[in-house]
Structure 1
Protein backbone atom coordinates (compact mmCIF):
# COMPACT_ATOMS: atom_id res chain seq x y z
CA UNK A 1 0.00 0.00 0.00
CA UNK A 2 1.36 3.43 -0.92
CA UNK A 3 2.27 5.95 1.77
CA UNK A 4 0.29 8.76 0.15
CA UNK A 5 -3.06 8.98 -1.55
CA UNK A 6 -2.67 8.91 -5.31
CA UNK A 7 -3.54 12.37 -6.50
CA UNK A 8 -3.94 14.16 -9.77
CA UNK A 9 -3.51 17.92 -10.05
CA UNK A 10 -6.09 18.63 -12.72
CA UNK A 11 -4.89 20.20 -15.94
CA UNK A 12 -7.13 22.64 -17.77
CA UNK A 13 -8.34 19.85 -20.05
CA UNK A 14 -8.98 17.45 -17.18
CA UNK A 15 -10.97 19.95 -15.15
CA UNK A 16 -13.10 20.85 -18.18
CA UNK A 17 -13.86 17.15 -18.76
CA UNK A 18 -14.62 16.48 -15.09
CA UNK A 19 -16.99 19.44 -14.70
CA UNK A 20 -20.04 17.45 -15.77
CA UNK A 21 -22.80 16.15 -13.47
CA UNK A 22 -22.64 12.54 -14.64
CA UNK A 23 -18.87 12.34 -15.02
CA UNK A 24 -18.15 13.64 -11.51
CA UNK A 25 -20.61 11.13 -10.04
CA UNK A 26 -19.16 8.28 -12.10
CA UNK A 27 -15.62 9.09 -11.01
CA UNK A 28 -16.80 9.33 -7.40
CA UNK A 29 -18.36 5.86 -7.60
CA UNK A 30 -15.25 4.35 -9.17
CA UNK A 31 -13.03 5.91 -6.51
CA UNK A 32 -15.31 4.95 -3.65
CA UNK A 33 -16.51 1.53 -4.69
CA UNK A 34 -13.85 0.24 -7.04
CA UNK A 35 -13.86 -0.95 -10.64
CA UNK A 36 -17.20 -1.26 -12.45
CA UNK A 37 -18.66 -1.73 -15.88
CA UNK A 38 -20.64 0.91 -17.75
CA UNK A 39 -23.76 -1.17 -17.07
CA UNK A 40 -23.16 -1.22 -13.32
CA UNK A 41 -22.57 2.53 -13.28
CA UNK A 42 -25.72 3.13 -15.33
CA UNK A 43 -27.79 1.13 -12.85
CA UNK A 44 -26.30 2.91 -9.84
CA UNK A 45 -26.71 6.36 -11.35
CA UNK A 46 -30.12 5.76 -12.92
CA UNK A 47 -29.05 6.41 -16.49
CA UNK A 48 -28.40 4.35 -19.62
CA UNK A 49 -25.30 2.41 -20.59
CA UNK A 50 -24.81 4.46 -23.74
CA UNK A 51 -24.36 7.57 -21.60
CA UNK A 52 -22.02 5.91 -19.11
CA UNK A 53 -19.95 4.32 -21.90
CA UNK A 54 -19.54 7.67 -23.65
CA UNK A 55 -18.60 9.52 -20.48
CA UNK A 56 -16.18 6.77 -19.40
CA UNK A 57 -14.37 7.22 -22.71
CA UNK A 58 -14.21 10.98 -22.14
CA UNK A 59 -12.79 10.44 -18.64
CA UNK A 60 -10.29 7.92 -20.04
CA UNK A 61 -9.12 10.31 -22.77
CA UNK A 62 -8.47 12.87 -20.03
CA UNK A 63 -6.44 10.33 -18.02
CA UNK A 64 -8.88 10.16 -15.08
CA UNK A 65 -10.03 6.54 -15.51
CA UNK A 66 -8.64 3.53 -17.31
CA UNK A 67 -9.84 0.20 -18.51
CA UNK A 68 -8.98 -2.69 -16.22
CA UNK A 69 -8.12 -6.07 -17.68
CA UNK A 70 -9.87 -8.93 -15.95
CA UNK A 71 -9.32 -12.62 -16.58
CA UNK A 72 -12.48 -14.19 -17.96
CA UNK A 73 -14.06 -10.76 -18.29
CA UNK A 74 -15.58 -11.59 -21.65
CA UNK A 75 -16.97 -8.61 -23.53
CA UNK A 76 -17.55 -6.58 -20.39
CA UNK A 77 -15.20 -3.64 -20.02
CA UNK A 78 -14.22 -2.82 -16.46
CA UNK A 79 -13.15 0.70 -15.57
CA UNK A 80 -11.26 2.05 -12.59
CA UNK A 81 -10.23 5.47 -11.34
CA UNK A 82 -6.52 6.12 -11.74
CA UNK A 83 -6.30 8.28 -8.61
CA UNK A 84 -7.88 8.66 -5.19
CA UNK A 85 -8.02 12.44 -5.05
CA UNK A 86 -8.36 15.32 -7.52
CA UNK A 87 -6.93 18.71 -6.69
CA UNK A 88 -6.70 22.06 -8.39
CA UNK A 89 -5.91 25.69 -7.80
CA UNK A 90 -7.81 28.31 -9.72
CA UNK A 91 -4.61 30.22 -10.40
CA UNK A 92 -3.50 27.31 -12.60
CA UNK A 93 -6.22 28.29 -15.06
CA UNK A 94 -5.47 32.00 -15.40
CA UNK A 95 -6.06 32.87 -19.04
CA UNK A 96 -8.33 29.85 -19.59
CA UNK A 97 -11.89 31.03 -18.89
CA UNK A 98 -13.40 27.60 -19.63
CA UNK A 99 -11.12 25.86 -17.12
CA UNK A 100 -11.78 28.61 -14.58
CA UNK A 101 -15.54 28.15 -15.05
CA UNK A 102 -15.08 24.39 -14.67
CA UNK A 103 -13.20 24.92 -11.38
CA UNK A 104 -16.03 27.11 -10.10
CA UNK A 105 -18.56 24.47 -11.18
CA UNK A 106 -16.63 21.69 -9.37
CA UNK A 107 -16.31 23.75 -6.20
CA UNK A 108 -20.04 24.51 -6.27
CA UNK A 109 -20.79 20.82 -6.84
CA UNK A 110 -18.63 19.89 -3.83
CA UNK A 111 -20.36 22.44 -1.58
CA UNK A 112 -23.79 21.21 -2.68
CA UNK A 113 -22.72 17.59 -2.18
CA UNK A 114 -21.54 18.42 1.34
CA UNK A 115 -24.93 19.97 2.12
CA UNK A 116 -26.73 16.85 0.80
CA UNK A 117 -24.57 14.53 2.90
CA UNK A 118 -24.85 16.69 6.01
CA UNK A 119 -28.64 16.86 5.70
CA UNK A 120 -28.89 13.10 5.17
CA UNK A 121 -26.76 12.56 8.29
CA UNK A 122 -28.91 14.96 10.32
CA UNK A 123 -32.12 13.20 9.25
CA UNK A 124 -30.80 9.76 10.18
CA UNK A 125 -28.47 10.46 13.09
CA UNK A 126 -31.02 9.56 15.78
CA UNK A 127 -31.11 5.98 14.47
CA UNK A 128 -27.33 5.65 14.70
CA UNK A 129 -25.58 3.93 17.61
CA UNK A 130 -24.25 6.38 20.21
CA UNK A 131 -20.63 5.78 19.22
CA UNK A 132 -21.43 6.94 15.67
CA UNK A 133 -23.63 9.85 16.76
CA UNK A 134 -20.71 11.21 18.80
CA UNK A 135 -17.85 10.27 16.45
CA UNK A 136 -17.96 13.07 13.91
CA UNK A 137 -19.53 16.42 13.59
CA UNK A 138 -19.18 19.81 12.03
CA UNK A 139 -16.84 22.46 13.39
CA UNK A 140 -16.08 25.97 12.32
CA UNK A 141 -13.20 28.22 13.26
CA UNK A 142 -12.36 31.81 12.45
CA UNK A 143 -8.59 32.14 12.22
CA UNK A 144 -6.49 35.16 11.30
CA UNK A 145 -3.87 33.88 8.86
CA UNK A 146 -1.97 35.06 5.83
CA UNK A 147 -2.11 33.16 2.53
CA UNK A 148 1.05 31.14 3.27
CA UNK A 149 -0.33 30.08 6.66
CA UNK A 150 -3.62 28.99 5.10
CA UNK A 151 -1.67 26.85 2.61
CA UNK A 152 0.39 25.39 5.48
CA UNK A 153 -2.81 24.56 7.39
CA UNK A 154 -4.39 22.85 4.37
CA UNK A 155 -1.17 20.88 3.74
CA UNK A 156 -1.18 19.73 7.39
CA UNK A 157 -4.80 18.60 7.08
CA UNK A 158 -3.91 16.68 3.91
CA UNK A 159 -1.02 14.91 5.66
CA UNK A 160 -3.34 13.88 8.50
CA UNK A 161 -6.01 12.65 6.10
CA UNK A 162 -3.43 10.62 4.16
CA UNK A 163 -2.26 9.01 7.41
CA UNK A 164 -5.81 7.96 8.34
CA UNK A 165 -6.54 6.81 4.78
CA UNK A 166 -3.76 4.25 5.15
CA UNK A 167 -4.83 2.91 8.56
CA UNK A 168 -6.19 -0.64 8.48
CA UNK A 169 -9.96 -0.29 9.04
CA UNK A 170 -10.97 -1.57 12.45
CA UNK A 171 -14.04 -3.60 13.38
CA UNK A 172 -17.23 -1.79 12.44
CA UNK A 173 -15.45 0.56 10.01
CA UNK A 174 -17.57 2.26 7.37
CA UNK A 175 -17.03 4.97 4.77
CA UNK A 176 -16.80 8.48 6.23
CA UNK A 177 -17.06 11.64 4.13
CA UNK A 178 -14.58 14.32 5.16
CA UNK A 179 -14.69 17.79 3.65
CA UNK A 180 -12.06 20.45 4.36
CA UNK A 181 -12.38 24.05 3.28
CA UNK A 182 -10.40 27.15 4.12
CA UNK A 183 -12.39 30.12 2.89
CA UNK A 184 -10.81 33.55 3.33
CA UNK A 185 -13.42 36.12 4.27
CA UNK A 186 -14.06 38.62 1.48
CA UNK A 187 -12.01 41.80 1.78
CA UNK A 188 -14.25 44.90 1.54
CA UNK A 189 -11.17 46.98 0.65
CA UNK A 190 -10.91 44.93 -2.55
CA UNK A 191 -14.57 45.41 -3.41
CA UNK A 192 -15.78 42.01 -2.18
CA UNK A 193 -18.39 41.62 0.52
CA UNK A 194 -20.07 38.91 2.54
Structure 2
Protein backbone atom coordinates (compact mmCIF):
# COMPACT_ATOMS: atom_id res chain seq x y z
CA UNK A 1 0.00 0.00 0.00
CA UNK A 2 1.41 3.39 -1.00
CA UNK A 3 1.69 6.07 1.66
CA UNK A 4 -0.11 9.32 1.08
CA UNK A 5 1.64 12.65 1.51
CA UNK A 6 1.12 14.33 4.85
CA UNK A 7 0.62 18.05 5.20
CA UNK A 8 3.34 19.55 7.34
CA UNK A 9 1.97 21.14 10.50
CA UNK A 10 3.99 24.19 11.54
CA UNK A 11 3.62 26.39 14.61
CA UNK A 12 5.06 29.87 15.07
CA UNK A 13 6.61 29.57 18.53
CA UNK A 14 5.89 32.21 21.16
CA UNK A 15 8.13 33.25 24.05
CA UNK A 16 6.49 30.90 26.55
CA UNK A 17 6.87 27.92 24.21
CA UNK A 18 10.51 28.70 23.43
CA UNK A 19 11.33 28.85 27.14
CA UNK A 20 9.65 25.48 27.74
CA UNK A 21 11.44 23.89 24.76
CA UNK A 22 14.87 24.93 26.04
CA UNK A 23 15.44 21.76 28.07
CA UNK A 24 17.45 18.70 26.96
CA UNK A 25 14.84 16.07 27.82
CA UNK A 26 11.95 18.11 26.42
CA UNK A 27 13.77 18.61 23.12
CA UNK A 28 14.42 14.87 22.88
CA UNK A 29 10.81 13.99 23.77
CA UNK A 30 9.39 16.40 21.21
CA UNK A 31 11.84 15.13 18.59
CA UNK A 32 10.92 11.47 19.18
CA UNK A 33 7.20 12.19 19.03
CA UNK A 34 7.69 14.06 15.75
CA UNK A 35 9.86 11.40 14.15
CA UNK A 36 8.47 8.14 15.58
CA UNK A 37 4.86 9.16 16.22
CA UNK A 38 2.64 8.78 19.30
CA UNK A 39 4.09 7.04 22.35
CA UNK A 40 3.56 6.55 26.06
CA UNK A 41 5.71 8.14 28.74
CA UNK A 42 6.95 4.65 29.61
CA UNK A 43 8.08 3.79 26.08
CA UNK A 44 9.73 7.21 25.72
CA UNK A 45 11.53 6.76 29.04
CA UNK A 46 12.89 3.41 27.83
CA UNK A 47 14.13 4.91 24.55
CA UNK A 48 15.76 7.84 26.33
CA UNK A 49 17.14 5.83 29.26
CA UNK A 50 15.36 7.91 31.87
CA UNK A 51 12.52 7.31 34.32
CA UNK A 52 8.83 7.49 33.57
CA UNK A 53 8.20 10.13 36.24
CA UNK A 54 10.60 12.59 34.61
CA UNK A 55 9.23 11.79 31.17
CA UNK A 56 5.62 12.30 32.32
CA UNK A 57 6.48 15.60 34.00
CA UNK A 58 8.21 17.01 30.93
CA UNK A 59 5.45 15.81 28.59
CA UNK A 60 2.95 17.73 30.74
CA UNK A 61 5.17 20.82 30.52
CA UNK A 62 5.20 20.55 26.72
CA UNK A 63 1.42 19.99 26.74
CA UNK A 64 0.79 23.11 28.82
CA UNK A 65 2.15 25.24 25.97
CA UNK A 66 0.51 23.28 23.15
CA UNK A 67 3.56 21.48 21.75
CA UNK A 68 2.31 17.98 22.57
CA UNK A 69 -1.12 16.63 23.34
CA UNK A 70 -2.66 13.46 24.68
CA UNK A 71 -4.02 11.13 22.03
CA UNK A 72 -7.23 9.78 23.62
CA UNK A 73 -7.88 7.43 20.68
CA UNK A 74 -4.78 5.40 21.57
CA UNK A 75 -5.05 5.47 25.36
CA UNK A 76 -6.47 2.53 27.26
CA UNK A 77 -7.17 2.64 30.99
CA UNK A 78 -4.24 4.28 32.75
CA UNK A 79 -2.05 4.24 29.65
CA UNK A 80 -1.71 7.77 28.25
CA UNK A 81 -0.42 8.24 24.72
CA UNK A 82 1.19 11.49 23.63
CA UNK A 83 1.72 12.97 20.18
CA UNK A 84 3.45 16.04 18.80
CA UNK A 85 0.99 18.79 17.99
CA UNK A 86 3.17 20.12 15.14
CA UNK A 87 5.85 18.80 12.80
CA UNK A 88 7.90 21.99 12.84
CA UNK A 89 8.51 24.71 15.42
CA UNK A 90 9.21 27.94 13.59
CA UNK A 91 10.66 31.17 14.96
CA UNK A 92 13.03 33.95 14.10
CA UNK A 93 15.58 34.68 16.83
CA UNK A 94 14.66 38.38 16.65
CA UNK A 95 11.09 37.50 17.66
CA UNK A 96 12.37 37.58 21.24
CA UNK A 97 14.62 40.66 21.25
CA UNK A 98 12.55 42.21 24.06
CA UNK A 99 12.57 39.08 26.25
CA UNK A 100 15.99 38.20 27.74
CA UNK A 101 14.79 34.81 29.04
CA UNK A 102 13.37 33.80 25.67
CA UNK A 103 16.55 35.06 23.95
CA UNK A 104 18.62 32.87 26.29
CA UNK A 105 16.35 29.92 25.46
CA UNK A 106 16.90 30.51 21.73
CA UNK A 107 20.69 30.53 22.26
CA UNK A 108 20.48 27.28 24.23
CA UNK A 109 18.32 25.64 21.50
CA UNK A 110 20.68 26.79 18.74
CA UNK A 111 23.75 25.57 20.66
CA UNK A 112 22.04 22.25 21.36
CA UNK A 113 21.19 21.95 17.66
CA UNK A 114 24.85 22.40 16.69
CA UNK A 115 25.84 19.76 19.25
CA UNK A 116 23.23 17.39 17.81
CA UNK A 117 24.54 17.99 14.26
CA UNK A 118 28.07 17.12 15.38
CA UNK A 119 26.90 13.99 17.24
CA UNK A 120 24.89 12.77 14.26
CA UNK A 121 27.84 13.29 11.93
CA UNK A 122 30.22 11.52 14.31
CA UNK A 123 27.83 8.53 14.59
CA UNK A 124 27.72 8.26 10.81
CA UNK A 125 31.48 8.60 10.37
CA UNK A 126 32.13 5.94 13.00
CA UNK A 127 30.23 3.32 10.95
CA UNK A 128 30.38 4.73 7.41
CA UNK A 129 33.09 2.33 6.22
CA UNK A 130 30.79 -0.60 7.04
CA UNK A 131 27.77 0.85 5.22
CA UNK A 132 26.66 0.00 1.68
CA UNK A 133 28.39 1.95 -1.06
CA UNK A 134 25.11 3.56 -2.21
CA UNK A 135 24.67 5.14 1.24
CA UNK A 136 28.29 6.27 1.42
CA UNK A 137 27.95 7.91 -2.00
CA UNK A 138 24.59 9.51 -1.16
CA UNK A 139 25.52 10.91 2.25
CA UNK A 140 27.02 14.38 2.03
CA UNK A 141 28.79 16.87 4.18
CA UNK A 142 29.96 19.96 2.38
CA UNK A 143 30.28 23.68 2.68
CA UNK A 144 30.64 26.73 0.49
CA UNK A 145 31.32 30.37 1.23
CA UNK A 146 29.03 32.81 -0.58
CA UNK A 147 28.94 36.59 -0.50
CA UNK A 148 25.34 37.60 0.24
CA UNK A 149 23.44 40.44 1.84
CA UNK A 150 20.83 39.62 4.53
CA UNK A 151 17.94 39.61 2.03
CA UNK A 152 19.64 37.10 -0.27
CA UNK A 153 20.71 34.92 2.66
CA UNK A 154 17.08 34.88 3.85
CA UNK A 155 15.91 34.02 0.31
CA UNK A 156 18.46 31.20 0.09
CA UNK A 157 17.40 29.74 3.45
CA UNK A 158 13.71 30.05 2.55
CA UNK A 159 14.23 28.29 -0.79
CA UNK A 160 16.25 25.46 0.77
CA UNK A 161 13.62 25.08 3.49
CA UNK A 162 10.85 24.81 0.87
CA UNK A 163 12.74 21.94 -0.76
CA UNK A 164 13.00 20.13 2.58
CA UNK A 165 9.29 20.66 3.32
CA UNK A 166 8.40 19.32 -0.15
CA UNK A 167 10.37 16.13 0.52
CA UNK A 168 8.77 15.88 3.98
CA UNK A 169 5.27 16.08 2.50
CA UNK A 170 5.91 13.53 -0.27
CA UNK A 171 5.25 9.85 0.44
CA UNK A 172 8.29 8.38 2.18
CA UNK A 173 10.51 5.94 0.34
CA UNK A 174 9.41 2.46 1.30
CA UNK A 175 11.94 0.21 -0.43
CA UNK A 176 14.24 -2.17 1.42
CA UNK A 177 17.07 0.41 1.32
CA UNK A 178 14.98 3.27 2.75
CA UNK A 179 16.21 4.85 6.00
CA UNK A 180 15.42 7.95 7.95
CA UNK A 181 17.89 10.70 7.04
CA UNK A 182 18.73 13.59 9.33
CA UNK A 183 19.08 16.77 7.25
CA UNK A 184 20.59 19.85 8.86
CA UNK A 185 20.43 23.29 7.30
CA UNK A 186 22.92 25.86 8.50
CA UNK A 187 23.79 29.13 6.79
CA UNK A 188 25.58 31.57 9.06
CA UNK A 189 27.64 34.70 8.42
CA UNK A 190 31.32 33.89 8.41
CA UNK A 191 33.09 35.29 11.44
CA UNK A 192 36.84 35.66 11.13
CA UNK A 193 38.85 33.80 13.75
CA UNK A 194 40.10 36.11 16.48
Q: TM-score scaled to structure 1, two decimals?
A: 0.92
Residue 40 of structure 1 is matched in structure 2 by 43
CA displacement 1:74-111 (0-9 Å, x = unmatched) = 21000000111112211100110000000000000000
SS of the residue corresponding to residue 57 of structure 2 reads helix
Counterpart CA distance in 1 for 2:139 and 2:169 is 19
CA contact (8 A) 1:35 1:79 kept: yes
User: Do the aligned partners of residues 124 and 44 (structure 1) sit closer, same or farther apart at CA in structure 2, a change above 3 Å counting?
Assistant: same
Counterpart CA distance in 2 for 1:71 and 1:95 is 41
User: Do the aligned partners of residues 85 and 71 (structure 1) sit closer, same or farther apart at CA in structure 2, a change above 3 Å counting?
Assistant: closer
User: Do the aligned partners of residues 71 and 103 (structure 1) sit closer, same or farther apart at CA in structure 2, a change above 3 Å counting?
Assistant: closer
Matched residue pairs, number? Answer: 189
Q: Which runs of 5+ in 1 are unaligned?
A: none
Counterpart CA distance in 2 for 1:91 and 1:10 is 12
Higher normalized contact order (CA 8 Å, seq sep 6+, divided by chain length):
2
State yes or no: 1:96 paired with 2:77.
no
Q: How does 1:143-182 map to 2 (within 5 A)?
A: 143-170=146-173, 171=175, 172-182=177-187
SS of the residue corresponding to residue 134 of structure 1 reads helix
Q: TM-score scaled to structure 2, two decimals?
A: 0.92
Counterpart CA distance in 1 for 2:130 and 2:170 is 27
Residue 23 of structure 2 is matched in structure 1 by 20
Residue 30 of structure 1 is matched in structure 2 by 33
